[in-house]
Amino acid sequence: MSYVLYSARNSYERVEMISVERITRAFNEATREFRDSGEYQSLACGHASTEAAHEFIRNVFRTHYLSAHIVALCFAALPSNAAELLKENLLEEMGRSEKEKPHSALLVELVRGIGFPENEVDQLITDARKRVAIFCATRVPVATLRELCLSLLLETMSFEFMLSRCSSEIATALTNHYSIPKAALLWFELHSEVDIRHAEEGVTVIQDYLNFHQIPDPLFDQIAHFTLGDNLFVRHYFPPVSKQRTRSKIAKAQAQRIESITIYQLRIPFHQVFRHALHNREESDAVIVKVTGSDGRSGFGESLPRSYVTGETTETMVARIRDHLAPKLFRQTFAPGWETLEHLQALMPNWTRGDNGETTVVAWNAAFCAVELALLDWSLRVDHCALADLLPPARFEVVYSGVISADEPKDAAALAKRMARLGLHQVKVKVGTADDAARLEAVRKAVGDEVALRADANGAWTAHEAIEQLQRLEQFKLAAIEQPVPAKDLEGMKRVRTESGIPVMADESLVTLEQARQLIDLGACDYFNIRLSKNGGITGSLAIAKLAHEAGIKIQVGAQVGETGILSAAGRTFAAYLPALEFAEGSFGTWLLAEDLTYESVAFGLGGRAPLLKTRGLSVTVREDVLERLANVKHEVRR
Ligand SMILES: [Mg+2]
């Protein structure tokens, strides 16, 4: 069948439309990939443990418990012919009578039949809701609603197709090898060969959709590839938590060495000067680390050293990586994915230890962060995983605050108005200069009373000054004051917390895990501002976040002014992972930088909202030509 399409180039083209065979081939290929996977083979042959079989059932539940919602969404998106076919499927999914129960009820019978306690059934339902919500809120790389719906249809119908070919085999294995009673397996029975009609109808539905929207081969192939690729069914039924266990057995054989480390010192101009009590900044001084493994693949990490925080300067940090960490790295081997993170957790205390007062370095956290992120990016790419697979998201998006530097009140007001127009709900203002009250007044007036305002003094005051100043600023209703006193004055911070009545956030005082403990033991603050570059990358930040969580300290995930898309992407995934997150900062991208390093834009959008990043590695692609151009110093070390 062929259709005439009107192309963007203003000419007519004859385009062959997708045949049923082509759709079936794509589904067959995805099904074959699933059946060939080690995970499926192990389950079907009875080599998996009973716990692994139960985990598989949990994931089947999480994937399909709310399937009716997804099918309903597909139904709503269909042209009339195909809609009739799918309606039948939808009604069956929803249950038409006492005898024909909703499929969700059959899944509940399945997990109860295995003997899962009621609280676990409740938890699985919560998981399923969360999964659908995350699915709906994850940005997909397609341009239009027409393409989005095709992706959705392909995913939904491919499950029907695969189940009609694998369900019986799975049900037999569950009964024979894992003692799951046959009566509990009705859901699998309904999706087995007896349901082959639905599977075939699914193919027809898709062909009808493709014809109606005149979607040509290349576009179909592209959407089918990213929807069904990377073993869609394994991703759902055997996600990384269970993969993690099997991976550890093969990790040694796959472990690789790092062959080279390249360090780039960048100079990227800002659109405008950023001022605070400790520093004025007109350009980004990000340091990028690229590691290349023995397989030829590379990963990128980033950090921005701050002498007044960790004690590292760009020069000392670069020297630390080149002369101290690189030789250590070359002696290690790194296994893919999760193994690398665990390996880094073991290395961090030794690799970041300060110099016992010989220099001003509190901890080599920025040096560690750049190296750690590069290693994670590389090793996750080797393993075809994203950082979000190691740190699964607890939310559907990350919402960022605006940050206003210590500008003249009229400039601060102009920026605040832009932020209000952009729909930001949270704004932080730098204070600690003579015109704090005028700046806050101008900002509060510009954003209105609904926006939550925080202030950051960057340690500019003594405790006494802070208490006095915060009384003067009371009328602006600050939600929190960040680092009111110098980093070492923890007693002063506690006094501000007790006497000002405004929640206090520790930033410059919080570099190491030990300092986090001191702040908690003293009751010095309400919030931690955790920043990857400051706190030792994902490894150091996770340890501090865990401590904060246990102690009831609220968390802001902060950022470095001038960070590129590499560090922003890692910060996004870290922020999305935390069970409780009060505020997030960063992801300014080209709001601040004249140019960013990544193909993907990581800058937040309307309302400060930004989607989760879940492709490969840190989930951004570095434009190496731009990196080379923006680097004013480059060091390369080889093994
Ligand atoms: Mg701060």
Residue 241 is predicted with a pLDDT of 54
Q: Is 343 helix (H, G, I), strand (E, B) or coil?
A: helix
Q: How far out from the chain centre does Cα 66 lie?
A: 23
Burial of residue 422 (number of CB atoms within 10 Å: 0-12, 13-18, 19+): middle
Q: pTM higher than 0.75, yes or no?
A: no
Could you say which DSSP state residue 511 is in?
A: -
Joined tokens for residue 615: 């492709």
Is the pLDDT assigned to residue 211 strictly greater than 70? Answer: yes
- Please tell me the least confidently modeled range out of 171-175, 239-243, 267-271, 284-288: 239-243
Could you say which DSSP state residue 386 is in?
A: B
Distance 234 CA to ligand 1 centre (A): 42
Q: Which CATH class is domain 397-632?
A: alpha beta
Mean pLDDT of 371-387: 91
Residue with tokens 């010192």: 265
Residue 14 is predicted with a pLDDT of 41
Q: For 85-120, how does the pLDDT look when each residue is reduced to its tens digit (9 = 90+)? A: 888 878 888 887 777 888 999 999 999 999 999 999
Q: For 43-72, how does the pLDDT look when each residue is reduced to its tens digit (9 = 90+)? A: 999 999 999 999 999 999 999 998 888 888
Percent of the chain scoring above 90 in pLDDT: 64
Distance 585 CA to ligand 1 centre (A): 10
Q: What is the residue type of 304?
A: L
Distance 482 CA to ligand 1 centre (A): 6
Distance 276 CA to ligand 1 centre (A): 9
Nearest alpha carbon to residue 255 among 344, 387, 384, 383: 383
Q: Is 357 helix (H, G, I), strand (E, B) or coil?
A: coil
Distance 631 CA to ligand 1 centre (A): 27
Residue with tokens 């005051």: 461
Is the pLDDT assigned to residue 210 strictly greater than 70? Answer: yes
Q: Where are the alpha helices (DSSP H) in 65-195?
A: 67-77, 80-94, 103-114, 118-137, 145-178, 186-190
Mean pLDDT of 204-213: 88
Joined tokens for residue 280: 């004025």
Nearest alpha carbon to residue 318 among 298, 288, 293: 288
Q: Where are the alpha helices (DSSP H) in 456-531?
A: 463-472, 490-500, 513-522
Query: CB within 5 A of ion ligand 1: which residues?
Result: 456, 482, 507
Residue 526 is predicted with a pLDDT of 98
Distance 473 CA to ligand 1 centre (A): 18
Q: Which residues pair with 71 in a beta bridge?
A: none
Distance 378 CA to ligand 1 centre (A): 30
CB 44 within 8 A of CB 173: yes
Distance 114 CA to ligand 1 centre (A): 51
The CATH architecture assigned to 2-238 reads Up-down Bundle (1.20)
Look at 357 and 259; give whichever has higher pLDDT.
259
Q: In angstroms, rounded to a whole number, what is the distance separating the alpha carbons of residues 484 and 563? A: 24
Is the pLDDT assigned to residue 15 strictly greater than 50? Answer: no
Mean pLDDT of 525-539: 98
Residue with tokens 């079936």: 24
Fold assignment, 253-384 = Enolase-like; domain 1 (3.30.390)
Distance 619 CA to ligand 1 centre (A): 26
Instruction: Give me the chain's average pLDDT, please.
Output: 88
Distance 192 CA to ligand 1 centre (A): 58
pLDDT confidence bin for 133, thresholds 50/70/90: confident
Joined tokens for residue 591: 């709001």
Question: Helix 50-64 crosses helix 103-114 at what angle (to 10 degrees)?
Answer: 160
Q: In angstroms, rounded to a whole number, what is the distance separating the alpha carbons of residues 381 and 366? A: 23
Is the pLDDT assigned to residue 246 strictly greater than 50? Answer: no
Mean pLDDT of 572-579: 95
Q: Which residues pair with 298 in a beta bridge?
A: 292
Distance 418 CA to ligand 1 centre (A): 22
- Please tell me the least confidently modeled range out of 62-71, 216-225, 622-631: 216-225
Mean pLDDT of 270-291: 88
Distance 401 CA to ligand 1 centre (A): 13
Distance 431 CA to ligand 1 centre (A): 10
Distance 485 CA to ligand 1 centre (A): 11
Look at 246 and 426; give whichever has higher pLDDT.
426
In sequence order, which residues have a C-beta less than 8 Å from that of residue 639 and are 6 or more positions away?
257, 258, 259, 260, 330
CB 39 within 8 A of CB 238: yes
What residue segments make up the domains of the chain, in order of their start? 2-238, 253-384, 397-632
pLDDT confidence bin for 250, thresholds 50/70/90: very low
For residue 491, CA distances in Å to 109, 169, 310, 500 come to: 58, 66, 20, 14
Distance 507 CA to ligand 1 centre (A): 5
- Please tell me the least confidently modeled range out of 91-105, 129-143, 480-494, 563-577: 129-143
Distance 504 CA to ligand 1 centre (A): 11
Is the pLDDT assigned to residue 1 strictly greater than 70? Answer: no
Distance 426 CA to ligand 1 centre (A): 15
Distance 430 CA to ligand 1 centre (A): 8
Residue 6 is predicted with a pLDDT of 30
Is the pLDDT assigned to residue 13 strictly greater than 60? Answer: no
- Please tell me the least confidently modeled range out of 2-16, 242-256, 503-517: 2-16
Distance 456 CA to ligand 1 centre (A): 6
Residue 3 is predicted with a pLDDT of 31
Q: What is the residue type of 41?
A: Q
